[in-house]
Structure 1
Amino acid sequence: MIKVIILGAGNVAFHLTTNLLKNIEVKLVQVYNRDITKIQYLKNQTSITNNLTDLKEADIYIISIPDNAISNFSSKLELKNKLVVHTSGCTAMNELQSNSNKGVFYLVQSFSKERKVDFSKIPICIEAETDKDFKLLKKLAKSISNNNYSINSKQRESLHIAAVFVNNFVNHLYYIGNQICEENKISFEILKPLILETANKITSLDPINAQTGPAMRNDTKTIEKHTTKLTVNQQEIYTLLTKSITKTYGKKL
């Protein structure tokens, strides 16, 4: 059985903790967080602490905190000959500053505490300094998900950039679409089947073949009509994306 300690209490740490508590191949021996009130709900399920000197023995120590805090936080860990990993998509493995063995355990998913996720479908990207540690991380990953990948730090940074485009930026466009609906007293619910179909379409088509819309058709009349209805900020985003689409498909406005 793999012994694991989670360091952090954010969205990723919360969901990972929830999963590992139910995982029969893993023993979650402890959860650390600087603000212990955020992990008090776990006190009857596993050991909790807000003191790094009180960390228990484990096979893997998973740092799941904001990216910009990983380097400094890891430098405070005295875990020689132990495996310490982080869950960041855009932080290189060598930014871990502890005197331990180093690795990465990156879950490619958007996490919100209010929504349950199916861990069996989440891609997990792993990296380690040694073959022994890689095999251990792979064993942990397999106990959680059916989708596991060996990804180095350079690849993971590019993957994280791609994830920002397909997740964070797309969600912001949902927000703008919702704004436009609210301003015109239209229910955003009308657009949800379209959103789902667009997402489902790329399970069978490459994105390049799934594109539709006025920019794809070079429908300048519709494009001009749209821009007159938008705020300055919305116009900038609409125009930038329209130009990118028309350039992709070799058409000029």
Structure 2
Amino acid sequence: MIKVIIIGSGNVAQHLINAFQNEEKRENGIELIQVFSRKKESLISLLPLDKITNQFSELLAADLYLIAVSDDAIEEVSNALPFKNRLVAHTSGSAPMTVLNSSNRRAVFYPLQTFTKNKAVDFKTIPICLEAENDADFELISKVGKLISNQATAINSEQRKALHVAAVFVNNFTNHIYQIGNDICNEHQVPFAILKPLIQETAQKILELTPEKAQTGPAKRNDQKTIEAHEQFITDENQLNIYKILTQSIQNNGKKL
């Protein structure tokens, strides 16, 4: 069994706890032996109390320590670990591997997904981006990744940074666009639910077509009359600016500068 310790209690940590515990029944799999949380009570619904510690000095010996905390806390947590030459990985999409203290062997174990507390995810479908300083450590984190996911692959720090930026566009920014659509619907007493079949079809289409081929709408058609009508209709300055920027970006797509 590969002994794993998770350090953290937020969204990513809690989903990893569930994923690892689901694999503990498998022979030669993963054993989640301990989780570090500054507030033990935040995890008692997921773990027995004797598996939770809030003291770095109480951390047990393990094959892999996963730091699942906010990006700005990774370095502090890494520096606080009271041991040397053990395999420590963070789960961040944007932080470089070198943010980890060099007194331990460093790696990255980044699950590329959006996580929300109390919303279950199927870890088997989640890509896990892996990076390590040596082949032996990569082999270990790769084995751990493949036990909980069907997609565990080598991604270096620069590639991971690019993936994280791309993920912000396709996830965080897209969700904000949904929020704008919801606000417009609410303002005009239209139920946002009417748009959900369109949202589902758009997401489904991108699984079969490239984004460029899937693009539709007045900007793609260069339908200036409709664009102008929309711009006159939108009264919120922020919404109007976003509309204009995205329209221009669609129209510029594929054009050489």
How far did residue 45 of structure 1 move? 7.1
Which residue of structure 1 lines up, in the alignment, with residue 144 of structure 2? 140
d(CA) in 1 for partners of 2:167, 2:254: 23
Which residue of structure 2 lines up, in the alignment, with residue 71 of structure 1? 75
How far did residue 122 of structure 1 move? 0.3
The correspondence for 1:234, drawn from 228, 239, 246, is 239
How far did residue 178 of structure 1 move? 0.5
Which residue of structure 2 lines up, in the alignment, with residue 14 of structure 1? 14
Which residue of structure 2 lines up, in the alignment, with residue 113 of structure 1? 117
Q: For 1:1-253, list aligned pairs within 5 A.
A: 1-23=1-23, 24=26, 25-44=29-48, 47-97=51-101, 99-230=103-234, 231-250=236-255
How far did residue 155 of structure 1 move? 0.8
How far did residue 212 of structure 1 move? 0.1
| TM-score after normalising by structure 2 | 0.95
Conserved 8 A contact 1:104-1:125: yes
Conserved 8 A contact 1:78-1:98: no
Conserved 8 A contact 1:74-1:98: no
Q: Which runs of 5+ in 2 are unaligned?
A: none
Q: Which amino acid aligns with 1:19?
A: A
Per the alignment, in what secondary structure is the counterpart of residue 93 of structure 2? coil
- The Cα offsets for residues 54-99 of structure 1, whole Å up to 9 and x where unpaired, read as 0011100000000011112111112312100000000000110251
Per the alignment, in what secondary structure is the counterpart of residue 75 of structure 1? helix
How far did residue 41 of structure 1 move? 2.4
d(CA) in 2 for partners of 1:209, 1:106: 30
d(CA) in 2 for partners of 1:37, 1:99: 31
| TM-score after normalising by structure 1 | 0.96
Aligned residue pair count? 251
Conserved 8 A contact 1:28-1:46: no
The structure 1 segments of at least 4 consecutive aligned residues displaced by more than 6 Å after TM superposition are none
Q: Which runs of 5+ in 1 are unaligned?
A: none
d(CA) in 1 for partners of 2:114, 2:102: 28
Comparing 234-243 with 98-107, greater Cα deviation is found at 98-107
d(CA) in 1 for partners of 2:18, 2:68: 14
How far did residue 107 of structure 1 move? 0.2
Conserved 8 A contact 1:72-1:97: no
- The Cα offsets for residues 177-210 of structure 1, whole Å up to 9 and x where unpaired, read as 0111111111111111111111111111110111
Q: CA RMSD in A?
A: 1.4
Q: Which amino acid aligns with 1:6?
A: I
- The Cα offsets for residues 14-49 of structure 1, whole Å up to 9 and x where unpaired, read as 100011112131110001011222122244276101
d(CA) in 2 for partners of 1:93, 1:22: 28
Per the alignment, in what secondary structure is the counterpart of residue 245 of structure 1? helix
Conserved 8 A contact 1:216-1:246: yes
Q: Which amino acid aligns with 1:177?
A: G
d(CA) in 1 for partners of 2:198, 2:13: 32
Per the alignment, in what secondary structure is the counterpart of residue 84 of structure 2? coil
Q: Which amino acid aligns with 1:27?
A: E
How far did residue 7 of structure 1 move? 0.3
